[in-house]
Chains A and B, each alone.
Chain A
Amino acid sequence: MAVSGKRGGWRKPLAVLLQLFVHLGAAAPLLWLFYAINAGHLGGDPVVELIHYLGLGTIRLLLLTLLISPLARLLNYGQLNRLRRPLGLWCFAWATLHFSAWMALDLGFDWSLIGSELVKRTYILIGFSAWLILLALAITSLPVLMRKMGKNWKKLHGLLYVVVLLACWHFWWSLKSGWIEPAIYLGVALLLLAWRSKSIRRWIESLK
């Protein structure tokens, strides 16, 4: 009979429940946004508010994603790692909405302007690079590709560390003034990265 049944009986169901919470938690603000936009609650210029909300939400989700494995270790609760995949995918979803809102609502799909802004503005280029990486990570999170890629999958997905840093950098440079808020986010990101410095070193080694 299942040995794990006694000791770990609650562990898996709880993780599944938490997974459900991740989906609800990441989707609910979007539903709220949808409502708020229609009801006119985003102030006089909803475009900018919307873009900032989505951008900041992406960064928070990224940090949360990075928090999972240290937490799983700390709590000796490996099943928690199940949350990484849905969280990562939600990061991509939020980032995509953030990027699309900028293209569609701020620049009104003026492709030549989008192109020139992407090239000319460093902070936008940084954000765009982060999105491209997330895109690659999202595509390769399909189970089929995961199996096919074998060891390379881990190599590729180590890039999430880079994405977090790019995202904080993008946030910092996009501000008209003030640095304290982005510094706090960057600080948290660096802490989370420092926590796993060994695995980051191993990841870098594996790339050589």
Chain B
Amino acid sequence: MLIKSRKQSDLPENQITPESAYVSRRSVIRGLGAGLGLAGLGGLVTAGTGAFAAEAKRKPLDFTRDKPDPDLVLTPEAKVTNHNNFYEFGTGKTDPAQNSQDLKVEPWTLTVEGEVAKPGTVDVWKLMADTNLEERIYRMRCVEAWSMVIPWVGFELGKFLARFEPTSRAKYVAFETLYDPQQMPGQRNRIVGGGIDYPYVEGLRIDEAMHPLSILSVGLYGKTLPPQNGAPIRLVVPWKYGFKGIKSIVKIKLVEKMPPTSWNKLLPQEYGFYANVNPAVDHPRWSQASERFIGPGGLFSVKRQKTLPFNGYGEEVASLYTNMDLRKFY
């Protein structure tokens, strides 16, 4: 388990990217591609001018600091917020930062229903103010074989769900992202949205959901989430591949049967329900044995590192899967 302590010293200054640095980095390069492109080779020209506004919109949060793990180097904030998979806003890695800035995240309600004694709808912003938020510095491993280390701010999913008193029939938890084609271009257009059947849905087994490492995150780097990272509330399950971390959640339903999950529906032979980080089970099209860590520094400082079973959280979570064949239940 992670050890929490209330009066924790701040993160080392050198691990936090100063705002001025990443704001200035964004402000360049637009029309270049048009002039240069041979047969339209300008596709890369992506500068999120809208990202300015969003940075201003992010609010500072009150939270308990996590104890920094000396083995973990944080991914700079600008990389965390400019390299995202959020197909509702496009399939390119910089599309979400570019296209999501007008997402209306306030007000936002989250409904909890299904196999619970006390179903209900909560005001997420009120929830943020009323809950003791804590920082969790987690490794994040994408199924595409890259990884980050992100200081999330949030609260334990299990404690949150307990308030609604799950019944004995609650065996799984199903999550759903906002469905709003007007605000989400990927839901309007199949090309933009990468062919996913929207709304995006995800799921966990109840014991996975109740595990203290599973959190609902409302912020990163001390501030509320930017839209591209799943504002205002998203799931973070650090021992699973990133796509399990469903973003901009509007509904949580406790259910008796294993719920459908988006990537599994699209490509069942490539993405399973469990999606535990597992270096021993390759994706059909690439190796999962190692990963590219996205840390500080430029292109040539990229380093490839070994992927850890359960993304390094095996000690805490391996017992959830005893007697399960993880090759079969990938």
Q: Which residues of B contact A45 (CB under 8 A)?
A: 79, 83, 93, 146, 292, 294
Q: How far is the CA of A108 from the CA of B305 in the complex (A)?
A: 10
Q: How far is the CA of A121 from the CA of B267 in the complex (A)?
A: 17
Whether, in the assembled complex, B41 has its beta carbon less than 8 Å from a beta carbon of chain A, the answer is yes
Assuming the contacts A43-B46, A44-B83, asked whether A60 and B40 have C-beta atoms less than 8 A apart, the reply is yes
Residue from the list B46, B91, B304 in contact with A107, Cβ < 8 A: B304
Interface string of A41-74 (1 = CB under 8 A from B): 1111111111001001100110110000000000
Whether, in the assembled complex, B298 has its beta carbon less than 8 Å from a beta carbon of chain A, the answer is yes
- A147 vs chain B, min Cβ distance (A): 30
Q: How far is the CA of A38 from the CA of B46 in the complex (A)?
A: 15
* Main SS at interface, chain B: loop
Of the listed stretches A3-11, A152-160, A172-180, A200-208, chain B binds A172-180
Interface string of B64-90 (1 = CB under 8 A from A): 000000000001001111111001000
Whether, in the assembled complex, B28 has its beta carbon less than 8 Å from a beta carbon of chain A, the answer is yes
Assuming the contacts A29-B37, A45-B79, asked whether A177 and B91 have C-beta atoms less than 8 A apart, the reply is yes
Of the listed stretches A109-117, A132-140, A190-198, chain B binds A109-117
Q: Which of B29, B42, B144 has the most CB of A within 10 A?
A: B29
Interface string of A16-37 (1 = CB under 8 A from B): 0000001001101100110011
Residue from the list B36, B41, B190, B287 in contact with A117, Cβ < 8 A: B287
Does B79 lie within 8 Å of A44, measured CB to CB? yes
Q: Which residues of A contact B194 (CB under 8 A)?
A: 176-178
Q: Which residues of A contact B285 (CB under 8 A)?
A: 121, 123, 173-174
Whether, in the assembled complex, B303 has its beta carbon less than 8 Å from a beta carbon of chain A, the answer is yes
- A128 vs chain B, min Cβ distance (A): 14
Q: How far is the CA of A40 from the CA of B28 in the complex (A)?
A: 10
Whether, in the assembled complex, B266 has its beta carbon less than 8 Å from a beta carbon of chain A, the answer is yes
Assuming the contacts A38-B298, A60-B38, asked whether A44 and B290 have C-beta atoms less than 8 A apart, the reply is no
Q: How far is the CA of A39 from the CA of B22 in the complex (A)?
A: 11
Whether, in the assembled complex, B2 has its beta carbon less than 8 Å from a beta carbon of chain A, the answer is no
Does A50 lie within 8 Å of B82, measured CB to CB? no
- B172 vs chain A, min Cβ distance (A): 24
Q: Which residues of A contact B326 (CB under 8 A)?
A: none
Count B-side interface residues using an 8 Å CB cutoff.
52
Can you name the residue of chain A whose Cβ is closest to the Cβ of B305? A108
Within 8 A of B (CB), among A58-94: 60-61, 63-64
Can you name the residue of chain A whose Cβ is closest to the Cβ of B148? A44
Does A177 lie within 8 Å of B83, measured CB to CB? no
- A189 vs chain B, min Cβ distance (A): 13
Does B93 lie within 8 Å of A178, measured CB to CB? no
Q: Which residues of B contact A48 (CB under 8 A)?
A: 93, 144, 146
Q: How far is the CA of A56 from the CA of B33 in the complex (A)?
A: 14
Smallest CB-CB A-B distances: 3 pairs:
A44-B83, A44-B79, A25-B38
Inter-chain pairs besides A25-B41, A44-B84, A44-B94, 15 sampled, C-beta below 8 Å: A29-B36, A29-B38, A39-B28, A41-B25, A43-B93, A44-B82, A44-B83, A45-B83, A45-B292, A49-B44, A60-B40, A113-B290, A116-B287, A177-B195, A180-B190
* A binding-site residues for B, Cβ under 8 Å: 22, 25-26, 28-29, 32-33, 36-50, 53, 56-57, 60-61, 63-64, 105-108, 110, 113, 116-117, 120-121, 123, 173-174, 176-181
* B binding-site residues for A, Cβ under 8 Å: 25, 28-29, 32-33, 36-44, 46-47, 75, 78-84, 87, 91, 93-94, 97, 144, 146, 190-191, 194-196, 266-267, 282, 285-287, 289-290, 292, 294, 298-300, 302-304
User: What are 16 contact pairs spanning A and B, CB under 8 A?
Assistant: A22-B38, A29-B41, A29-B42, A36-B29, A39-B29, A41-B29, A41-B47, A42-B44, A45-B79, A47-B302, A48-B144, A113-B289, A120-B287, A121-B286, A173-B285, A178-B191
